[in-house]
Amino acid sequence: QAQLVESGGGLVQAGGSLRLSCAASGRTFSRNSLAWFRQAPGMEREFVAGFSYSGSSTYYANSVKGRFTISRDNAKNEGYLQMNSVKPEDTAVYFCAISPTNRNRGTRRDYSGWGQGTQVTVSS
């Protein structure tokens, strides 16, 4: 089973940018679909962006479309979430997740591998 570790979170001013990284151990990262989820205080964990492992197909939640970009570097066993034009409502713990099926979107139950999360706080 792959181990995932997120990094890059922190405090950022509204309108600024931040890049989150997801480092994966193991040998199966390239054959797993990648996704980012987030969970704000008192809220359910929600899908943010996804990247299939076959076909390089991406999908974004409407709330982040046009602002966030998901990417991956299989040679480095890493995934990324570039966050631009961030808003206070983007404040949440961000989780990296993987799925053994080829998909660019899904619910929490569709992804079986998870990182510990990294906090992103956007100040107004």
Rounded Cα gap, residues 17 and 26, in angstroms: 30
Predicted local distance difference test score (pLDDT) of residue 102: 97
Position 64: which residue type?
Answer: V
Confidence check: pLDDT of 40 > 80: yes
The percentage of the chain sitting over the pLDDT mark of 70, rounded to a whole number, equals 99
Q: Across residues 76-101, what is the average pLDDT?
A: 97
> In the chain, which ranges are E strands?
4-7, 10-13, 18-24, 33-39, 46-51, 58-60, 68-73, 78-83, 92-99, 113-114, 118-123
Mean pLDDT of the chain: 96
Burial level of 69, CB count in 10 A (0-12/13-18/19+)?
middle
Confidence check: pLDDT of 1 > 70: no
Q: Across residues 41-52, what is the average pLDDT?
A: 97
Predicted local distance difference test score (pLDDT) of residue 28: 83
96 confidence band (pLDDT: 50, 70, 90): very high
27 confidence band (pLDDT: 50, 70, 90): confident
How many residues are recorded in the chain?
124
Q: Give residue-wise pLDDT tens across range 48-72.
A: 999 999 999 999 999 999 999 999 9
Q: Give residue-wise pLDDT tens across range 98-122.
A: 999 999 999 999 999 999 999 999 9
